[in-house]
Amino acid sequence: MLYLGDTATSDLANQKEQAHPRGCSAVLPPATSCPLVTRLGMAHTRLDSVYRRFLAGHYTQHAFDAKRDYKDISGSVYTTTPCYYCGVPATAVDHTLPLIVYRELLAIGEPPDKRRLIVVPSCHECNSLLGDNFFPSLASRKKYVKRRLRSRYRFILRIPKWQEYEIRALGRNLQDYVRQGHDERERLHQRLAW
Protein backbone atom coordinates (compact mmCIF):
# COMPACT_ATOMS: atom_id res chain seq x y z
CA MET A 1 0.00 0.00 0.00
CA LEU A 2 1.37 3.43 -0.86
CA TYR A 3 1.58 6.00 1.91
CA LEU A 4 3.21 9.38 1.50
CA GLY A 5 2.90 11.20 4.80
CA ASP A 6 -0.44 13.00 4.97
CA THR A 7 -0.91 13.27 1.22
CA ALA A 8 -3.10 10.79 -0.58
CA THR A 9 -2.38 9.61 -4.09
CA SER A 10 -4.80 8.16 -6.58
CA ASP A 11 -3.12 4.74 -6.08
CA LEU A 12 -3.77 5.01 -2.37
CA ALA A 13 -7.38 6.00 -2.94
CA ASN A 14 -7.86 3.04 -5.29
CA GLN A 15 -6.30 0.58 -2.84
CA LYS A 16 -8.16 1.99 0.15
CA GLU A 17 -11.35 0.32 -1.06
CA GLN A 18 -9.58 -3.04 -0.79
CA ALA A 19 -7.79 -2.27 2.49
CA HIS A 20 -8.30 -4.40 5.55
CA PRO A 21 -11.35 -3.14 7.52
CA ARG A 22 -9.31 -2.73 10.71
CA GLY A 23 -6.86 -0.39 9.03
CA CYS A 24 -3.78 -2.62 8.83
CA SER A 25 -1.77 -2.89 5.68
CA ALA A 26 -3.11 -6.30 4.61
CA VAL A 27 -5.05 -6.15 1.37
CA LEU A 28 -8.35 -8.01 1.10
CA PRO A 29 -8.95 -10.46 -1.72
CA PRO A 30 -10.84 -9.19 -4.74
CA ALA A 31 -14.61 -9.27 -4.35
CA THR A 32 -14.98 -11.72 -7.21
CA SER A 33 -13.04 -14.43 -5.35
CA CYS A 34 -15.97 -15.11 -3.03
CA PRO A 35 -18.76 -17.29 -4.48
CA LEU A 36 -21.39 -15.17 -2.73
CA VAL A 37 -19.97 -11.95 -4.15
CA THR A 38 -19.89 -13.44 -7.63
CA ARG A 39 -23.47 -14.65 -7.31
CA LEU A 40 -24.81 -11.36 -5.90
CA GLY A 41 -22.55 -9.07 -7.90
CA MET A 42 -22.02 -6.72 -4.95
CA ALA A 43 -19.02 -4.54 -4.09
CA HIS A 44 -16.83 -5.34 -1.04
CA THR A 45 -17.89 -2.25 0.89
CA ARG A 46 -21.62 -2.99 0.66
CA LEU A 47 -21.21 -6.69 1.25
CA ASP A 48 -19.65 -6.91 4.69
CA SER A 49 -22.75 -7.84 6.73
CA VAL A 50 -24.07 -10.25 4.06
CA TYR A 51 -20.62 -11.80 3.75
CA ARG A 52 -20.31 -12.26 7.52
CA ARG A 53 -23.69 -14.01 7.65
CA PHE A 54 -22.61 -16.26 4.75
CA LEU A 55 -19.41 -17.24 6.55
CA ALA A 56 -21.11 -17.61 9.93
CA GLY A 57 -23.54 -20.13 8.43
CA HIS A 58 -20.65 -22.58 8.00
CA TYR A 59 -19.78 -22.69 11.72
CA THR A 60 -21.15 -25.33 14.11
CA GLN A 61 -22.29 -24.41 17.60
CA HIS A 62 -20.51 -25.82 20.62
CA ALA A 63 -21.48 -25.56 24.34
CA PHE A 64 -24.72 -23.64 23.71
CA ASP A 65 -26.74 -26.28 25.54
CA ALA A 66 -24.93 -25.62 28.84
CA LYS A 67 -27.01 -23.64 31.33
CA ARG A 68 -26.11 -21.98 34.61
CA ASP A 69 -28.06 -20.15 37.31
CA TYR A 70 -27.16 -16.54 38.10
CA LYS A 71 -28.42 -13.97 40.59
CA ASP A 72 -29.16 -10.48 39.40
CA ILE A 73 -28.70 -7.38 41.54
CA SER A 74 -32.19 -7.71 43.06
CA GLY A 75 -31.42 -11.27 44.18
CA SER A 76 -33.74 -13.06 41.78
CA VAL A 77 -32.32 -16.14 40.05
CA TYR A 78 -32.27 -16.63 36.28
CA THR A 79 -30.81 -19.32 34.03
CA THR A 80 -28.82 -18.64 30.89
CA THR A 81 -25.89 -19.90 28.82
CA PRO A 82 -22.48 -19.20 30.40
CA CYS A 83 -19.46 -17.83 28.61
CA TYR A 84 -17.33 -20.76 27.46
CA TYR A 85 -14.16 -19.03 28.64
CA CYS A 86 -15.05 -17.50 32.03
CA GLY A 87 -18.54 -18.60 33.08
CA VAL A 88 -20.31 -15.22 33.27
CA PRO A 89 -23.57 -14.89 31.28
CA ALA A 90 -22.83 -15.12 27.55
CA THR A 91 -23.71 -12.00 25.59
CA ALA A 92 -21.92 -12.78 22.31
CA VAL A 93 -20.61 -15.63 20.20
CA ASP A 94 -16.95 -16.29 19.52
CA HIS A 95 -15.85 -17.71 16.17
CA THR A 96 -12.92 -19.98 17.05
CA LEU A 97 -11.62 -19.54 13.52
CA PRO A 98 -12.11 -15.77 13.15
CA LEU A 99 -14.27 -14.70 10.23
CA ILE A 100 -11.46 -12.60 8.78
CA VAL A 101 -9.16 -15.65 8.74
CA TYR A 102 -11.89 -17.77 7.16
CA ARG A 103 -12.44 -15.14 4.48
CA GLU A 104 -8.72 -14.97 3.71
CA LEU A 105 -8.51 -18.79 3.44
CA LEU A 106 -11.48 -18.89 1.07
CA ALA A 107 -9.94 -16.12 -1.01
CA ILE A 108 -6.75 -18.09 -1.61
CA GLY A 109 -8.70 -21.27 -2.36
CA GLU A 110 -7.81 -23.11 0.85
CA PRO A 111 -11.07 -23.81 2.69
CA PRO A 112 -10.39 -24.78 6.31
CA ASP A 113 -11.28 -28.12 7.84
CA LYS A 114 -14.95 -28.11 8.91
CA ARG A 115 -13.94 -29.35 12.37
CA ARG A 116 -12.23 -26.00 13.02
CA LEU A 117 -15.35 -23.97 12.24
CA ILE A 118 -16.89 -23.69 15.70
CA VAL A 119 -18.75 -20.92 17.52
CA VAL A 120 -18.97 -20.88 21.30
CA PRO A 121 -20.97 -18.63 23.64
CA SER A 122 -18.87 -15.88 25.15
CA CYS A 123 -19.17 -12.64 27.07
CA HIS A 124 -18.21 -9.41 25.32
CA GLU A 125 -15.04 -9.07 27.36
CA CYS A 126 -13.65 -12.51 26.44
CA ASN A 127 -14.68 -12.07 22.81
CA SER A 128 -12.94 -8.71 22.76
CA LEU A 129 -9.79 -10.10 24.39
CA LEU A 130 -9.56 -12.79 21.73
CA GLY A 131 -10.19 -10.41 18.84
CA ASP A 132 -9.22 -11.95 15.52
CA ASN A 133 -6.32 -13.96 16.96
CA PHE A 134 -6.00 -17.52 15.71
CA PHE A 135 -5.34 -20.42 18.10
CA PRO A 136 -4.93 -24.10 17.30
CA SER A 137 -7.50 -25.33 19.85
CA LEU A 138 -10.30 -24.25 22.16
CA ALA A 139 -8.09 -25.08 25.14
CA SER A 140 -5.39 -22.68 23.95
CA ARG A 141 -8.02 -19.96 23.41
CA LYS A 142 -9.29 -20.48 26.95
CA LYS A 143 -5.75 -20.40 28.36
CA TYR A 144 -5.07 -17.13 26.50
CA VAL A 145 -8.25 -15.54 27.90
CA LYS A 146 -7.33 -16.58 31.47
CA ARG A 147 -3.86 -15.09 31.07
CA ARG A 148 -5.28 -11.83 29.73
CA LEU A 149 -7.88 -11.64 32.54
CA ARG A 150 -5.15 -12.20 35.15
CA SER A 151 -3.12 -9.43 33.58
CA ARG A 152 -6.05 -7.02 33.24
CA TYR A 153 -7.26 -7.52 36.81
CA ARG A 154 -3.91 -8.06 38.52
CA PHE A 155 -4.59 -5.28 41.05
CA ILE A 156 -7.91 -6.83 42.09
CA LEU A 157 -6.21 -10.20 42.49
CA ARG A 158 -3.69 -8.56 44.84
CA ILE A 159 -6.36 -7.27 47.23
CA PRO A 160 -5.46 -8.75 50.62
CA LYS A 161 -7.91 -10.93 52.51
CA TRP A 162 -9.23 -8.98 55.48
CA GLN A 163 -10.52 -10.66 58.62
CA GLU A 164 -14.03 -9.67 59.71
CA TYR A 165 -12.78 -8.04 62.95
CA GLU A 166 -10.41 -5.88 60.89
CA ILE A 167 -13.26 -4.76 58.63
CA ARG A 168 -15.51 -3.90 61.61
CA ALA A 169 -12.76 -1.65 63.01
CA LEU A 170 -13.03 0.55 59.89
CA GLY A 171 -15.51 3.34 59.21
CA ARG A 172 -18.77 2.51 57.43
CA ASN A 173 -17.69 3.76 53.96
CA LEU A 174 -14.34 2.02 54.15
CA GLN A 175 -16.06 -1.22 55.25
CA ASP A 176 -18.24 -1.10 52.14
CA TYR A 177 -15.19 -0.41 49.96
CA VAL A 178 -13.23 -3.35 51.40
CA ARG A 179 -16.20 -5.73 51.10
CA GLN A 180 -16.78 -4.63 47.51
CA GLY A 181 -13.12 -5.40 46.75
CA HIS A 182 -13.51 -8.85 48.32
CA ASP A 183 -16.62 -9.50 46.21
CA GLU A 184 -14.85 -8.42 43.01
CA ARG A 185 -11.85 -10.60 43.82
CA GLU A 186 -14.13 -13.59 44.54
CA ARG A 187 -16.01 -13.14 41.24
CA LEU A 188 -12.70 -12.91 39.39
CA HIS A 189 -11.41 -16.09 41.04
CA GLN A 190 -14.62 -17.85 39.94
CA ARG A 191 -14.09 -16.65 36.36
CA LEU A 192 -10.49 -17.85 36.37
CA ALA A 193 -11.46 -21.24 37.86
CA TRP A 194 -14.20 -21.85 35.24
SS (HEC) of 6-25: CECCHHHHHHHCCECCCCCC
CA–CA dist 123, 79 (Å, integer): 15
> What is the chain's pLDDT, residue by residue, as a tens digit (194 residues)?
332 333 333 343 344 344 444 443 333 344 344 444 444 444 444 446 666 666 667 888 899 999 999 988 888 999 999 999 999 999 999 999 888 888 888 889 888 888 888 999 999 999 999 998 989 899 999 999 999 999 999 999 999 999 999 999 999 999 999 999 999 999 999 999 99
Structural domain for 175, as ranges: 154-194
The per-residue pLDDT for 9 is: 37
Assigned domain for 3 exists: no
For residues 98 and 73, membership in a common domain is answered with: yes
The per-residue pLDDT for 59 is: 85
For residues 147 and 62, membership in a common domain is answered with: yes
Q: What angle do CA 89, 91, 93 make, to 5 degrees?
A: 115
Residue that terminates a domain, selected from 137, 152, 167: 152
Q: Given CA atoms 107, 110, 114, 117 in this order, what sign does their dihedral have?
A: negative
For residues 140 and 158, membership in a common domain is answered with: no
Domain count for the chain, please give it.
2
CA–CA dist 177, 8 (Å, integer): 53
Assigned domain for 101 exists: yes
* Residue 39 half-sphere exposure toward CB, CA atoms < 13 A: 6
The alpha carbon of 124 is separated from its chain's Cα centroid by a whole number of angstroms, namely: 6
Assigned domain for 51 exists: no
